[in-house]
Amino acid sequence: MAKLLTNIGCLVGVDEAGSGFKKGVQMRQLNQIEHAWLLIDGPYIAGFGPMQSLPATAASTEVVDVKGGWVFPAFCDPHTHLVFAASREGEFLDKLQGLTYEQIAARGGGILNSAARLQQMDEQELFEQSAWRLEQAAQQGIGAIEIKSGYGLTLADELKMLRVVRKLKAHSPVLVKATCLGLHAIPLEYKNNKAGYVKLVIDRLIPQVAIEGLADFVDVFCETNYFSVADMLAVMEAGEKHGLRAKLHVNQFNALGGVAAAAAHGALSVDHLEVMEEADFEALQASNTIPTVLPGCSFYLRIPYAPAREMIDRGLGVAIASDFNPGSSPSMNPELNLSLACIQQRLLPEEAVNAATINAAAAMDSLSEVGSIAIKKRANLAITRAMPSLAYLPYAFGERKVMRTMLNGAFI
């Protein structure tokens, strides 16, 4: 059945030309129609315009007066670790008492802590917990999300995580993409044999994932004490054999040359980027790899924010993601991430909204389906209460402005 949204205070992210991904100064362009209507046919956007040109509709069309609320394309979150077995607030207390993320990991906390808990949990319980979190994401206005493995760290448990993601894809109205992050940390059993674990992931995990169609992307945590640029390139090559592009964790704590290597080999995105050197900027400027910044992680770990302002000023197209996970970013709140991107990374509101919608859709290869208000895209919408201006959205940090979410044409 068709739905007509009327009295929209402002329809944001209108994309008549289907122009897609925005770079540099284009990120300031965010097309808006004040006092608008939006027509939805089944799961898709079917039309929009100003209220003066409100079309006559069939009697069967359901008319929904949104009473001045603003309508945005639902947020896209192109980097999360939403499937996990347990929260880690014990480490939070350690952190408050002065330990760093690296010190906590060295004591057996961190990713290995999450892996130990996940290995003990059966698939059904993991699915139920994760489905609840995904429901929370949708309620906060998220309409598309990427979810990684990486807390399994054995063949069986990595596959278990990815099967949970597959069930989430089938079960949820949120558009879900799956990423195989086998190389997230060195498992204890391979403490003195990192090469053996890399071999397991390349020779057995990635081929099995491909056979079962369990992932859309591959990822590696390229970092001191985790995996090298050579390990990352080996995974990229293995992924490529199976048609899986790479989205990579690089430059969180150290610049190891991963950005240039990833960009040269056609990675879809490079994520984190808290530490950026001149060569990293130049490599991105010479490529189509999307820099994806994770302000929630910087906020929570108290580490530097990725220099997103400089990236945009140098002509790059930036995406924002939550990095939602129990160890370095225990929140997926998209409104808070928009505020952090503006307040801490000095993005303009238009740039931040583009980074969290159209560019975030590009960073999960979902541009044709989501990320803007365009005919035939999914009717995935985040609807706020009435707001005085666009700037109000990031300005009123911590206040909930998104009141309703529509996914595939249905309110959730």
Residues of this chain that interact with ligand NIG (CB under 6 A) are 81, 110-111, 114, 221, 249, 252, 297, 323, 325-328
**Does residue 274 touch Fe ion according to CB under 5 A?**
no
Instruction: State the pairing for strand pair 290-293/319-320.
Output: parallel
CA pair distance 55, 15, nearest whole angstrom: 20
**Which residue lies nearer to ligand NIG by CB, 12 or 321?**
321
Task: Tell me if 89 sits within 8 A of 326, measured CB to CB.
Answer: no
CA pair distance 5, 11, nearest whole angstrom: 10
**Which residue lies nearer to ligand NIG by CB, 27 or 111?**
111
**Which residue lies nearer to ligand NIG by CB, 110 or 182?**
110
Q: CB 268 → ligand NIG: shortest distance, Å?
A: 16
Residue the block writes with tokens 């056979």: 211
**Which residue lies nearer to ligand NIG by CB, 8 or 267?**
267
Could you tell me which residues come within 8 angstroms of residue 216 by beta carbon, excluding any fewer than 6 positions away?
146, 177, 178, 179, 244, 364, 365
Span from 6-14, 87-95, 192-200, 322-330 in contact with Fe ion (CB under 5 A): 322-330
**Does residue 77 touch Fe ion according to CB under 5 A?**
no
Span from 149-157, 192-200, 316-324, 335-343 in contact with Fe ion (CB under 5 A): 316-324
Query: Binding partner of residue 73 among ligand NIG, Fe ion, none, CB under 5 to 8 Å per kind?
Result: none
**Which residue lies nearer to ligand NIG by CB, 289 or 325?**
325
**Which residue lies nearer to ligand NIG by CB, 22 or 95?**
95
**Which residue lies nearer to ligand NIG by CB, 48 or 300?**
300
CA pair distance 8, 192, nearest whole angstrom: 60
Within positions 15 to 44, which residues make up the interface with Fe ion, using CB under 5 A?
Answer: none
Q: CB 334 → ligand NIG: shortest distance, Å?
A: 17
To which H or E segment does residue 232 belong?
helix 229-241
Task: Report the b/e string of 317-354 with b at 16+ CB within 10 A.
Answer: bbbbbbbbbbbbbbbbbbbbbbbbbbbbbbbbbbbbbb
Span from 48-56, 168-176, 277-285, 323-331 in contact with Fe ion (CB under 5 A): 323-331
CA pair distance 159, 149, nearest whole angstrom: 8
Residue number, nearest CB to Fe ion = 323
Query: Binding partner of residue 114 among Fe ion, ligand NIG, none, CB under 5 to 8 Å per kind?
Result: ligand NIG
Query: Binding partner of residue 69 among Fe ion, ligand NIG, none, CB under 5 to 8 Å per kind?
Result: none
**Which residue lies nearer to ligand NIG by CB, 287 or 292?**
292
Where do the DSSP E strands lie in 308-400? 319-320, 381-386
Span from 29-37, 224-232, 303-311, 321-329 in contact with Fe ion (CB under 5 A): 321-329
CA pair distance 143, 73, nearest whole angstrom: 8
**Does residue 158 touch Fe ion according to CB under 5 A?**
no
Query: Binding partner of residue 110 among Fe ion, ligand NIG, none, CB under 5 to 8 Å per kind?
Result: ligand NIG
Which one of residues 219, 231, 280, 323 is an interface residue with Fe ion (CB under 5 A)? 323
Query: Binding partner of residue 405 among Fe ion, ligand NIG, none, CB under 5 to 8 Å per kind?
Result: none
* Strands ordered across the beta sheet of 245-250: 75-77, 142-148, 175-183, 217-222, 245-250, 269-272, 290-293, 319-320
Query: Binding partner of residue 307 among Fe ion, ligand NIG, none, CB under 5 to 8 Å per kind?
Result: none
Exposed, middle or buried by CB within 10 Å (0-12, 13-18, 19+), for 96?
Answer: exposed
Where do the DSSP E strands lie in 104-186? 142-148, 175-183
Q: CB 114 → Fe ion: shortest distance, Å?
A: 12
Paired with 371 in beta bridges are none
Residues of this chain that bind Fe ion (CB under 5 A): 323
